[in-house]
Amino acid sequence: MTTYHQSARGEPRVALVTCSELADLDPDDRLVLAPLATRGVAAQPVVWDDPDVDWSSYDLAVLRSPWDYALRRDEFVAWAAGVPALVNPADVVRWNTDKRYLGELSAAGVPTVPTTWIEPGESWQPPAETGEYVLKPAVSAGSQDTGRYDLADPEHRELAAAHVRRLSDAGRVTMVQPYLRAVDTEGETALLFLAGPEGLAFSHAIRKGPMLTGPDLGPDGLYKVEEISARTARPDQLAVAEQTLAAVPGGTRQLLYARVDLIPGPDGKPVLVELELTEPSLFIGYADGAPERLADAITTHLSRRS
């Protein structure tokens, strides 16, 4: 028999985990509240680092928008390890919050954006060849501390080196990637997967327009505003997404959701930019039935906790 931490109305309780700057949740996430209520689930936003929260009083804690963790990753990972019934689970959080997981996926045969990693304290100079590159920290959220640099421009070369020094001085690992020009025309495709009775199932896809217009010049908010529209996923994109998910340590049955972000490479074939398993926007407002599918995914995980 299932034993729930019941609300005053006798419903199972679910925490939708967020941060203090979005204490009432991102508007897209709020779309799941009504479908959960109709399924007899009492869900509420809860700030992850609120010291007064009793996480054991919830039947499920669903990571949604704790987007302020990037500068406190160790604290966040430790917090996740202490939360009962967290999804996605703490070991996934530990693995996925450091983008060096891309190296593991590449080694497993997943087509990924070529990436160079610069450890804190390592010297780095922009490569001699010209071209556009993206620099960002290995631990980040919302495209913070991310810049685009044209290495044919002497000023950009100086700014790129300064960007790496700034991250290094803060003890952060830097990622250097070629800028994939197809994002300027085709955009980025995000494929969303949600849990079902048999495991993760494809739900919907969206297009993200180009976001990086130039060098990173400092903080500009919790996240960068995105240009989003619905998109139909192509078979080759779905194939890369499935290949990516098949390489997740521990398998995908443990996951409530996954977002696979793809951009066409120089040959036009999709390559992985990021695999979002910790706190991705799920864009459920851009696909018919997606809020209901997310609610069903949550109830599926509730049933597994019985």
Token pair in block for residue 218? 């400092």
Query: Does the annotation mark 231 as catalytic?
Result: yes
Place of tokens 């217009």: 213
For residue 50, which of 58, 59, 39, 38 has the smallest C-alpha distance? 58
Grouping H, G, I as helix, E, B as strand and the rest as coil, residue 99 is coil
Contacts of 272 (CB under 8 A, 6+ apart): 102, 105, 110, 111, 112, 113, 240, 244, 260, 261, 262
3-state class percentages of the chain: helix first, strand second, coil last, to nearest 5: 30, 25, 45
Q: Which of 64, 276, 279, 293 is catalytic?
A: 276
Can you read off the two tokens belonging to residue 173?
A: 């690992």
Has 165 been annotated as catalytic?
no
Question: Is 259 among the catalytic positions?
Answer: yes
Q: Is residue 287 a contact partner of residue 268, using CB atoms and an 8 Å limit?
A: no
Catalytic residue among 207, 259, 279, 293: 259
**231, 274, 279, 293: which is the annotated catalytic residue?**
231
Residues catalogued as catalytic: 231, 259, 276
